[in-house]
């Protein structure tokens, strides 16, 4: 994979300025892709089909495109993004989630979140934008560790990510395991466009949230979206 993605050009809070945020959101191709990826992530969680609204996280929510899928599915959601410009566009679009300007370190109460999705975000952590950045430390402590703590018992987190190399894939998988996650990697469309999703299942804190957290028995098998390859975290 060539080093052409935006994560290689500048940190997200700089790359996604007002101009880029509006261009991103106005692209019909990006809108369509984000809808498909977020639908796939929601499918992989998976949430019980009981018509009960859950509290979900959209980590790296951009201008609220992926959050629209969560809203249409009847869930409440909190969107986090480090780009102020992206969040401003989300507000203009009247995104229905609660929006937070935040890096990936999550400071929510333990066990309160019923599921999380993150679309095309994790690869940003694998790059050192500054000399002080340690990709492994950022991924383990500020992202995976804090996410593990805030997820309810039995909840899942689904990351759709484009690793630049096998090293990045192993870095992300290893960091997730060290944070306490178990799960696997689903590779959608392995022979064409590759969508590498880290499908992580976690038993969260013993605290019980008012949003009816998932029970481990509700986490069912993964249904492939198009041609797929599944493998466990190792």
Sequence spans of domains, the chain: 10-208+225-232
Between CA 22 and CA 144 the distance in angstroms is: 30
- The token pair at 87 is 């969040």
What is the pLDDT averaged over residues 157-179? 79
Q: Is 53 helix (H, G, I), strand (E, B) or coil?
A: coil
What is the pLDDT averaged over residues 37-52? 88
Q: With contact defined as beta carbons under 8 Å apart, do 64 and 79 qualify? A: yes
Burial 5-15 (b: 16+ CB within 10 A, else e): eebeeebbbeb
Q: To which H or E segment does residue 91 belong?
A: helix 84-92
User: Looking at residue 130, what is its pLDDT?
Assistant: 58
Which contacts qualify for 99-107: CB closer than 8 Å, 24 or more apart? 99/61, 99/64, 103/142, 104/59, 104/60, 104/80, 104/138, 104/142, 104/143, 104/146, 105/141, 105/142, 105/143, 105/146, 106/57, 106/59, 106/80, 106/143, 106/146, 106/147, 106/149, 106/150, 107/146
Between CA 88 and CA 91 the distance in angstroms is: 5
Strand pairing partners for 182?
Answer: 201
pLDDT > 90? residue 120: no
Q: Which residue has the higher pLDDT, 58 or 219?
A: 58
**What angle, rounded to 10 degrees, do the helices at 18-26 and 28-44 form?**
80
Q: With contact defined as beta carbons under 8 Å apart, do 86 and 34 qualify? A: no
Residue 202 binned pLDDT confidence (cut-offs 50, 70, 90): very low
Residue 82 binned pLDDT confidence (cut-offs 50, 70, 90): confident
pLDDT > 50? residue 223: no
Superfamily grouping for domain 10-208+225-232: Vaccinia Virus protein VP39 (3.40.50.150)
Q: How many CB atoms lie within 10 A of CB 102?
A: 17
Strand pairing partners for 205?
Answer: 152
Residue identified by tokens 């909190």 is 78
| Mean pLDDT of the chain, nearest integer | 74
- pTM comes to 0.76
Which string of DSSP letters, residue by residue, matches 92-161? HTT-SSEEEE--S---PPTT-BSEEEEES-HHHHTS-SSTT--HHHIIIIIIIIHHHHHBBTT-EEEEEE
User: Looking at residue 156, what is its pLDDT?
Assistant: 87
Residue 213 binned pLDDT confidence (cut-offs 50, 70, 90): very low
User: Looking at residue 12, what is its pLDDT?
Assistant: 65
User: Looking at residue 11, what is its pLDDT?
Assistant: 63
Contact residues for 36 (Cβ-Cβ < 8 A; gap 6+):
none
User: Looking at residue 177, what is its pLDDT?
Assistant: 80
What is the pLDDT averaged over residues 136-144? 63
Q: With contact defined as beta carbons under 8 Å apart, do 97 and 38 qualify? A: no
């Amino acid at each position: 994979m060539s080093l052409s993605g935006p994560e290689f050009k500048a940190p997200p809070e700089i790359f996604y300025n007002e101009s880029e945020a509006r261009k991103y959101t106005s692209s019909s191709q990006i809108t369509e892709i984000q809808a498909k990826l977020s639908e796939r992530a929601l499918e992989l969680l998976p949430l019980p089909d009981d018509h009960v609204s859950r509290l979900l996280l959209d980590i790296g929510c951009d201008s609220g495109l992926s959050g629209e899928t969560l809203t249409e599915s009847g869930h409440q959601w909190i969107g986090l993004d480090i780009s102020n410009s992206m969040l401003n566009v989300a507000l203009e679009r009247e995104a229905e989630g609660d929006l937070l300007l935040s890096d990936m370190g999550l400071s929510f109460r333990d066990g309160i979140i019923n599921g999380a999705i993150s679309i095309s975000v994790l690869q940003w952590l694998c790059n050192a934008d500054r000399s002080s950045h340690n990709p492994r430390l950022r991924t383990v402590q500020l992202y995976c560790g804090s996410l593990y703590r805030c997820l309810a018992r039995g909840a899942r987190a689904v990351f759709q990510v484009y690793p630049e190399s096998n090293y990045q894939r192993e870095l992300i998988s290893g960091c997730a395991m060290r944070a306490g996650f178990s799960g696997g990697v689903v590779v959608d469309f392995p022979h064409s466009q590759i969508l590498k999703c880290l499908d992580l299942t976690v038993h969260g804190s013993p605290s019980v949230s008012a949003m009816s957290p998932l029970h481990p028995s509700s986490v069912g098998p993964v249904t492939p979206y198009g041609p797929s390859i599944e493998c466990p975290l190792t």
